Structure 1
């Protein structure tokens, strides 16, 4: 699959955000926010450190 030049390392698709949300304690929007701030790889690491609220 060809890489879309418009996407960057900080772009997280809805599917990727949902997958990260399912495997960590972050919401899909939090996953996107983390990726925008830190990049995809670092966002995945940071998401694992989040604790569920409640």
Structure 2
């Protein structure tokens, strides 16, 4: 089964830092969210955290 871009669960340190700068999660949390939910969904979850805070 090939990974599709929407199912990619890896993000680079640079991507994690970008997400962290735009939301209230740490780069580590951004990576954990991507691992758990996938890259796109993980970023959405990080933004939800910012909206809830």
Give the TM bin, normalised by the shorter chain. Answer: 0.7 to 0.9
Q: Superposition RMSD on alpha carbons, in Å?
A: 1.3
Q: TM-score, normalised by structure 1?
A: 0.76
Q: TM-score, normalised by structure 2?
A: 0.77
Computing the radius of gyration from Cα coordinates, the structure with the larger value is 1
In the alignment, structure 1 segments of 5+ residues that lack a partner are 1-7
Give the number of the structure whose residues are more often helix, by fraction: 2
In the alignment, structure 2 segments of 5+ residues that lack a partner are 1-6
The runs of at least 4 aligned residues of structure 1 exceeding 6 Å deviation read: none
